[in-house]
Amino acid sequence: MEARRIRMNRSFKMMIRRVYANRLMYLFILPGFIWFLIYKYGPMYGVVIAFKDFKFSEGILGSAWVGLKHFQYLFSMSDFYNIVRNTITINLWNLLFGFTAPIILALIMNEVYSLKFKKAVQLAVYFPHFLSWVVFGGIIINMLNPSQGMINMAIKALGGKPVHFLAQSKYFVGIVVITSIIKEAGWGTIVYLAALAGVDMDQYEAAVIDGANRWQKLIYITLPGISSTIIIMLILRVGYLLDVGFEQIYVLYNPSVYSVGDVISTYIYRMGLQNMQFSLTTAIGLFQGAINFALIFTTNTLAKRFSDVSIW
């Protein structure tokens, strides 16, 4: 007992000595540590206002606890079901087309032999990723404009009537999905192209000798070769089922399409910051975070069981 205490004491002293010897190294860590504490852990603590009636005058600590009041109100609110449904709808379409588009594009790009041509295509398709949603969405709004936009000019030239695409709810989800594919699918190929570059060339040669055609090579060699990358990207993607990028929607939507276009993030912005409903919108954010976490956890567990690929 005594010996153990002395030993522990000694190792404690040694640690103190090591800390002291490296004291200058902690100065490197200090600013970042404080930053994380304030701007990352501060908001995590601030989530408690979902269970309080937050008032500026009382602050986060002083505001009164109200238990699950905001959650009860939330689940009785038709707006809430509406924004959750819109968010999920947009994301499911995005998952179906937006997730597969970069995979297909990468597979097509992989079939090109000319490196110069491939590079030129890459430069073009990566470009829109570097534009902001204001710029890209602004251009789209322009192109879809009923009186002067390129698309409606073409419709008129073909004898049709101009359509105000962005004012009609039936087109909104389609526009969101298509514009995000045009903007991000190219950039999304990078991961898959890297995975494709890692597929063993010998396997293709062996397959060719065995008489395999292009499709057989694709199905039996290429796809299995990049399947783990696809699964990892899918897990990450599913974890964002309740998360539609704020910026895209904020730029493209307008009150006439709120019924299908209003998503969780835009609703939190409008209700929380413009109408000062801090506690209610924090409750929505907490709900969203909890569901996202549950989803990523579930898909990861499933992926681990069925394919032994997982992100943790």
Partner 1 sequence: MAKARRENPFIIIVLLAVAITAVIPIYYVIMTSLSQPSLVRQGELLLLPRGFTLDSYGMILKNGRFLNSFKVTLIRTLSGTALNLAMQSTFAYGLSKRYLPGRKFFMIFVVITMMFNGGIIPTYLVVRQTKIINTIFALLVPSAISAWNVIVLKSFFENIPESLEESARIDGANPFVIFARIVLPLSTPVLATIGLFAAVTHWNAFMDAIIYINKESLEVLQIYLRDMVLQFEVQSVMGDAMSLGDVSSLSLQTSAIFVSTIPMLLAYPFIQKHFVTGMMIGAVKG
Which residues between 270 and 289 bind partner 1 (CB under 8 A)? Answer: 272-273, 278, 281-282, 285-286, 288-289
CB of 241 to partner 1, least distance (A): 16
Residues 6+ positions from 116 with CB-CB distance below 8 Å: none
CB of 1 to partner 1, least distance (A): 26
CB of 2 to partner 1, least distance (A): 26
Judged by CB, which is closer to partner 1: 36, or 81? 36
Could you give the CA distance from residue 159 to residue 179 in angstroms, rounded to a whole number? 26
Which residues between 198 and 227 bind partner 1 (CB under 8 A)? Answer: 205, 208
Under the binding rule (CB under 8 A), the answer on residue 121 touching partner 1 is: yes
Angle at 106 between CA 103 and CA 112, to 5 degrees: 150
**At which residue do the structure tokens 């359509």 appear?**
163
Q: What is the DSSP letter of 131?
A: S
Under the binding rule (CB under 8 A), the answer on residue 75 touching partner 1 is: no
Which residues between 4 and 23 bind partner 1 (CB under 8 A)? Answer: 15, 18-19, 22
Under the binding rule (CB under 8 A), the answer on residue 295 touching partner 1 is: no
Residues in the chain: 312
CB of 265 to partner 1, least distance (A): 7
Which position among 83, 106, 109, 238 is part of the footprint of partner 1 (CB under 8 A)? 109
Which position among 6, 108, 219, 294 is part of the footprint of partner 1 (CB under 8 A)? 108
Under the binding rule (CB under 8 A), the answer on residue 263 touching partner 1 is: no
Could you give the CA distance from residue 248 to residue 258 in angstroms, rounded to a whole number? 14
Other residues' Cβ atoms within 10 Å of the Cβ of residue 258: 18
**At which residue do the structure tokens 């009041």 appear?**
69
Q: How far is residue 143 CA from its own chain's centroid?
A: 26
Which position among 53, 97, 246, 304 is part of the footprint of partner 1 (CB under 8 A)? 246
Which residues between 139 and 178 bind partner 1 (CB under 8 A)? Answer: 139-143, 145-148, 150, 153, 156-157, 164, 166-167
| Burial (CB count <10 Å: 0-12, 13-18, 19+), residue 185 | buried
User: SS3 for 65?
Assistant: strand
Give the binding-site size for partner 1 (rule: CB under 8 A). Answer: 100
Judged by CB, which is closer to partner 1: 90, or 183? 183
Which residues between 44 and 73 bind partner 1 (CB under 8 A)? Answer: 44-47, 49, 54, 60
Under the binding rule (CB under 8 A), the answer on residue 114 touching partner 1 is: yes
Question: In whole angstroms, how far apart are CA 307 and each of 26, 227, 300?
Answer: 42, 9, 10
Under the binding rule (CB under 8 A), the answer on residue 113 touching partner 1 is: yes
Question: In whole angstroms, how far apart are CA 113 and each of 109, 116, 118, 119, 193?
Answer: 9, 9, 8, 11, 14
User: SS3 for 64?
Assistant: strand
Which position among 12, 73, 81, 127 is part of the footprint of partner 1 (CB under 8 A)? 127
Judged by CB, which is closer to partner 1: 95, or 285? 285
Q: How far is residue 77 CA from its own chain's centroid?
A: 26
